[in-house]
Amino acid sequence: MRKEFRQRLATEFRYAATKMEESKDASKKLFYFSVFFGEAQRELNWEWDRDLVLILSLTQYVHTQISATMQIPTMSVLPIDWELAFDKLTQFASVLASYYEKEENDGNKQEMYQALGRLAEIAYAISGNGSYLYEKGILKL
**Torsion, CA 85, CA 138, CA 113, CA 18, rounded to 10:** 10
Q: Is residue 141 part of a domain?
A: no
Flag whether 132 is in a domain: yes
Domain ranges, residue 37: 3-136
Number of domains in the chain: 1
* The pLDDT of residue 109: 84
Would residue 9 count as lying in a domain? Answer: yes
* Tens digits of residue pLDDT in 44-87: 999 999 999 999 999 999 999 999 888 876 666 677 788 889 99
Q: What is the pTM of this model?
A: 0.89
